[in-house]
Amino acid sequence: MSAVYAHFGLTPAMRAGAVLADGGYQVHRDFVDFIVDGRPLLHRLSDLDAVSPLASDVPPAIFTAQVRGLLLEADAPLPDGRYVIYGCPECADLACGAVTAVIERIDDDYVWRDFAWQTEGEVDLRLNGYHGIGPFRFEGGAYRSALGALLDRPDAAADPGPAPRRRVLLIGARVAVLARLAAALRTIGIGADFTRDAEHVPADELRGYGAVAFGRAIGEQERTAVRRAFERAGVEVAYVDGLAPIVPLLVAQIEHALDRSPRERRRLTALSVTDGAADIEVTSPCRVRLTAYRLDRLYRTHTRELLDDVLEPGHHRLPLDAKAVRGQSYVVARTTGSVLVTAVAH
């Protein structure tokens, strides 16, 4: 085993929730990702929708057991000393597939090796091993310090600073749309309330929100009054101007607004659509999905999947079907942990 060390760290991460084009949902998950040599380990896996076992919504006893497992203070949950590094974000069932690795002690150091995709008790490294990842040798003191901090402050699983406010206040005129949007957000794990007037909401309640979403019918005077109410409460929130009364589109806007991760740690960093093509910037190989939403002259919603492919790091200009993005239309781009929304410029 080489004595060359990799740097180990932790960072807040998320798997963005979504209302899917087929009517299904994917739940929002906040978790701690592993940093190896300054880069999220998950970013080395280009086509993986997964979260680490260090998720903010697991019971404290289970979270503590996961940390102690990574510290080798508990027996490995899988044969041959294998631990789950990333698992299914919906159910955490091994049958759905998981990235596992052997974790062992060598002298005072910790080594992660033999990464593999695993769906049952035994794993075939020749067929399912990640041959380009690892082994990683971490200096023992730094490794224990990073993980030990999670035991001292379990809330750090969601954010190393103040606990994130995963709640949004919806302000609009169309109650039916607000009700559907609030229900969709709650389904994917984001708290939501709606009102037309926030001026009389108690300050303690306002401090629980991380974002405010305005409907298109809300004028500037009403928006200003809402902003003043939050200023008086002494809380900073993200403000979202709803692009259109399309629930999946609004969910994507709100997910983006609630994303507090550092920009340099995001996989998807830019999106625009002009002249019938989408311009996308990605920071690491990743699966990107593009979905178009269009309102016709009768304000009916049309949805079209435009792309589902793995893109390499850098800038990509992707021609789009002109019919899918004509008129009043919008595009949502998603990848692991990142979502961006843009109106189509004509």
Residue numbers of the chain with a pLDDT score lower than 70: 1-3, 153-165
* Residue 156 in tokens: 């750090």
Q: Note the pLDDT tens digit of each residue in 225-268.
A: 999 999 999 989 999 999 999 999 999 999 999 887 777 788 99
pLDDT at 58: 85
Q: Is the pTM above the cut of 0.75?
A: yes
Would you state the pLDDT for residue 162?
A: 41
Q: How far apart are CA 18 and CA 91, in angstroms?
A: 16
- The reported pLDDT for the residue numbered 153 is 58
Q: What HEC string does 270-316 produce?
A: EEEEECCEEEEEECCCEEEEEEEEEECCCCCEEEEEEEEEEECCEEE
As beta bridge partners, residue 88 has none
pLDDT of residue 319: 95
The dihedral built from the CA positions of residue 191, 194, 195 and 196, taken in this order, carries a sign that is positive
The whole-number pLDDT of residue 3 equals 59
Which pLDDT belongs to residue 36?
Answer: 96
Strands 328-335 and 338-343, bridge-based pairing? antiparallel
What pLDDT was estimated at residue 274?
92
Beta bridge partners of 8: 36
Q: What is the pLDDT of residue 158?
A: 41
